Amino acid sequence: MNAKKILLAAMIASPLLMALPLQSAQAQVFDLRIGTPPPPPRVVEVPAPRPGYVWTPGYWNWEGHRHVWHEGVWVRERRGYHYVAPAWEPVDGQYGFRRGHWERG
C-alpha cells in the first residue's frame, strides 16, 4: 500500500474511531483533563455539503505536551444519529476535553 493510501485510510479512520459513543455530558465525564487551555479554534471554510456525509469540524487535540490541530473531515452519516463535535470546557481550574461522538436523535 503506498503512502497516499495509508494517509487517506488514517484520515478516514481517525474520526470514526473518535465517534464511538461516550457517556453523557451531564455526568461531567471527560476523555482528558489538563491545565493548559487550548488555542482558539482555527477559522476554516467548510466545504460544500456532500449528500450522505456529515462534516466533523477540526479541533485541538492534546498530544503529549502540546496541542495539535486536527483538520475537519467528512464522515458517512449515521441515520437516526447526529454528530456532536469535540469540545474543550473549563472545569475546576482545568480544561476538560470530550471527543466527537454520535448521539441518537
Whether pTM > 0.85 for this model: the answer is no
What pLDDT sits at residue 12? Answer: 56
Number of domains in the chain: 1
What pLDDT sits at residue 50? Answer: 92
Instruction: From first to last of the 105 residues of the chain, give the pLDDT tens digit.
Output: 565 555 445 555 555 444 444 444 445 678 889 999 999 989 999 999 999 999 999 999 999 899 999 999 999 999 999 999 999 999 999 999 999 999 998
Q: Exposed, middle or buried: residue 77 (CB in 10 Å: 0-12, 13-18, 19+)?
A: middle
Per DSSP, what are the bridge partners of residue 101? 84
Range of the domain at 10: 3-104
Rounded CA-CA distance 99/58 in Å is: 11
